């Protein structure tokens, strides 16, 4: 009896297992359709394969077209593919009927493709700008252009929508990136802040050549915001090897011949242009004797490496310096972003120093004056500023120019006048 019941239990388990197996792995009922494909009588595995085969055949006839600028990018199956829930769906079918699977079509490597497509379209804006010219018009202006940026998130969404909604053509959405600066702003940053001129004798060829050479070395200088200008560093040593000729210079309180004569007129002209442009002077030196090409307290002497002319660009944008020497006129023009202040300079002579007695040297064939002297001068220089209608006057320097004697050479057995 026990053996009978044991055999019955085993038989019951076997039949249950068989029934379960037939329910899960058996053929689908006749009249079963999945996604419009007749799968009745098929095993569930065969049904999944048949529906996927039909889906792949459909996708082979489709194209994903992405319009990016002037390009049309075409993608085909299997560059795009699909995922579905067919395995889960067929596992639950127990009666005939029409069933729809959940299908999602996707582009392989979509993010990388979108990044590549958008990178071809992305364009940084080119701000309007000015090119500084050393001759002719001070600046050449360029408008630049707006940029563009492709919408990556929108492109990903549009590709997904096309693949899963009828394969409509996709156009990359592009947003303009506006320039931050305007041409008016560029022109404000390159406006003339001040121009200062002095005159010289063009018939004095060596001195004129020195002035032109030094001016040419400064011409075209661009000084960044916060940068300090050095005359000696920019012009270099005044030596014959560097192209400078011998001309009158001031040495030990006398006008004598020396290499580089005339260069101090260049530094003086630049000094006045920089000062009246509102730049901050950090080093300047007066001559020991008063010079004739500017008023007292308006000169700036340079000498070797000891005496320099230095100033700092205090503007938030670059400063541009033009300098030219032609026909006896030396001009320095400073361009940049003005600060709205009108400036002028006032020179005041506060005293004179008597001219000393003549100095007589022996030599030469006849008496002549080899160096003409002058009384000395005491003076002050004032910077006058008008800001918002308010006028202020500020003392910027006090100077004392020495008196110098006439130097006379008298006849002697040998020698002559220079």
Burial 237-249 (b: 16+ CB within 10 A, else e): ebeeeeebbebeb
Domain final residue pick, 180, 208, 236: 180
20, part of any domain? no
198, part of any domain? yes
**pTM of the entire structure?**
0.74
32, part of any domain? yes
pLDDT tens for each residue of 315-368: 999 999 999 999 999 999 999 999 999 999 999 999 999 999 988 888 767 778
CATH number for the domain harbouring residue 72: 3.10.20
15, part of any domain? no
Domain final residue pick, 180, 199, 223: 180
Q: What is the mean pLDDT of residues 287-309?
A: 93
Per-residue DSSP letters for 172-187?
Answer: --EEEE--SS-HHHHH
Q: Can you give the pLDDT at residue 249?
A: 59
CA distances from 229 to 102, 270, 314, 405, 415 (A): 74, 11, 11, 36, 46
Distance in angstroms (rounded) separating the CA atoms of residues 149 and 155: 12
Q: What is the mean pLDDT of residues 30-54?
A: 97
- Same domain, residue pair 237 and 384: yes
**The pLDDT of residue 13 is above 60:** no
Q: What is the mean pLDDT of residues 101-128?
A: 97
**The pLDDT of residue 110 is above 50:** yes
Domain final residue pick, 118, 149, 180: 180
Higher pLDDT, 79 or 12: 79
- Same domain, residue pair 105 and 217: no
Q: Can you give the pLDDT at residue 18?
A: 35
**The pLDDT of residue 415 is above 90:** no
100, part of any domain? yes
Q: Can you give the pLDDT at residue 257?
A: 61
Q: Can you give the pLDDT at residue 155?
A: 98
Q: What is the mean pLDDT of residues 64-90?
A: 96
Q: Can you give the pLDDT at residue 5?
A: 40
- What's 40's DSSP letter? T
Distance in angstroms (rounded) separating the CA atoms of residues 243 and 249: 16
**The pLDDT of residue 69 is above 90:** no
pLDDT tens for each residue of 358-395: 888 887 677 788 778 889 999 999 999 999 999 999 99
Percent helix, strand and coil across the chain, each rounded to 5? Answer: 25, 35, 35
196 three-class SS:
strand
- Same domain, residue pair 38 and 118: yes
**The pLDDT of residue 417 is above 50:** no
Q: Can you give the pLDDT at residue 306?
A: 86
Q: Name which of 263, 203, 219 is nearest 237 in CA terms.
A: 263
- Same domain, residue pair 200 and 311: yes
Q: Can you give the pLDDT at residue 330?
A: 98
Q: Can you give the pLDDT at residue 408?
A: 86
Per-residue DSSP letters for 202-233?
Answer: TT-HHHHHHHHHHHHHHTTEEE-TTPEEEHHH
Q: Can you give the pLDDT at residue 19?
A: 35
- Same domain, residue pair 265 and 395: yes
Q: How many domains does the chain have?
A: 2
Q: What is the mean pLDDT of residues 48-52?
A: 97
Q: Give residue 84's domain range.
A: 25-180
Q: Can you give the pLDDT at residue 413?
A: 54
Q: Can you give the pLDDT at residue 26?
A: 83
Q: Name which of 330, 334, 347, 323 is nearest 198 in CA terms.
A: 330
Q: Can you give the pLDDT at residue 407?
A: 85
Q: Can you give the pLDDT at residue 222?
A: 98
- Same domain, residue pair 169 and 209: no
358, part of any domain? yes
- Same domain, residue pair 388 and 270: yes
9, part of any domain? no
- Same domain, residue pair 57 and 175: yes
**The pLDDT of residue 8 is above 60:** no
385, part of any domain? yes
Structure tokens at 274: 């920089």
**The pLDDT of residue 12 is above 80:** no
- Same domain, residue pair 169 and 198: no
Q: Can you give the pLDDT at residue 371?
A: 78
Q: How confident is the model at residue 15 (pLDDT cuts 50, 70, 90)?
A: very low
User: How many CA atoms lie less than 13 Å away from 329 in the CB half-sphere?
Assistant: 6
- Same domain, residue pair 233 and 275: yes
């Amino acid at each position: 009896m026990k053996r009978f019941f044991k055999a019955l239990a085993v038989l019951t388990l076997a039949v249950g297992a068989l029934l379960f197996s037939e329910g899960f792995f058996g053929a689908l009922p006749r009249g079963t359709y999945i996604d419009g494909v007749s799968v009745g009588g098929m095993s569930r595995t065969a049904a999944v394969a048949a529906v996927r085969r039909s889906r792949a055949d459909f996708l082979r006839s489709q194209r994903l077209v992405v319009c990016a600028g002037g390009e049309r990018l075409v993608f085909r199956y299997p560059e795009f593919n699909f995922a579905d829930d067919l395995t889960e769906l067929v596992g639950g079918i127990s009666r005939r009927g029409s069933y729809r699977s959940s299908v999602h079509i996707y582009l392989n490597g979509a993010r990388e493709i979108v990044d590549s497509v958008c990178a071809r379209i992305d364009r940084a804006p080119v701000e309007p700008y000015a090119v500084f010219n050393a001759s002719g018009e001070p600046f050449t202006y360029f408008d630049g252009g707006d940029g563009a940026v492709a919408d990556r998130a929108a492109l990903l969404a549009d590709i997904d929508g096309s693949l899963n909604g009828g394969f409509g053509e996709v156009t990359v959405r592009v947003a303009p990136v506006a320039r931050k600066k305007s041409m008016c702003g560029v022109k404000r940053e390159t406006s003339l802040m001040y121009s200062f001129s002095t005159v010289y004798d063009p018939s004095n060829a060596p001195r004129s050549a020195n002035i032109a050479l030094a001016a040419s070395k400064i011409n075209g200088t661009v000084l960044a915001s916060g940068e300090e200008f050095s005359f000696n560093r920019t012009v270099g040593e005044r030596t014959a090897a560097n192209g400078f000729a011998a001309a009158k210079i001031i040495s030990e309180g006398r006008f004598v011949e020396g290499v580089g004569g005339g260069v101090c007129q260049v530094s003086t002209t630049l000094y006045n242009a920089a000062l009246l442009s509102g730049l901050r002077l950090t080093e300047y030196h007066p001559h020991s004797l008063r010079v004739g090409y500017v008023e007292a307290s308006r000169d700036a002497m340079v000498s070797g490496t000891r005496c320099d002319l230095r100033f700092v660009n205090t503007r938030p944008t670059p400063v541009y310096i033009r300098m030219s020497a032609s026909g006896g006129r030396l001009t320095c023009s400073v361009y940049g972003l003005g600060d709205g202040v009108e400036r002028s300079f006032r020179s005041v002579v506060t005293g004179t120093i008597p001219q000393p007695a003549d100095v007589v040297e022996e030599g030469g064939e006849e008496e002549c004056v080899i160096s003409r002297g002058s009384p000395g001068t005491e003076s002050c220089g004032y910077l006058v500023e008008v800001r918002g209608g308010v006028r202020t006057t500020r003392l910027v320097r006090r100077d004392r120019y020495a008196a110098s004697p006439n130097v006379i050479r008298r006849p002697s057995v040998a020698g002559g006048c220079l």
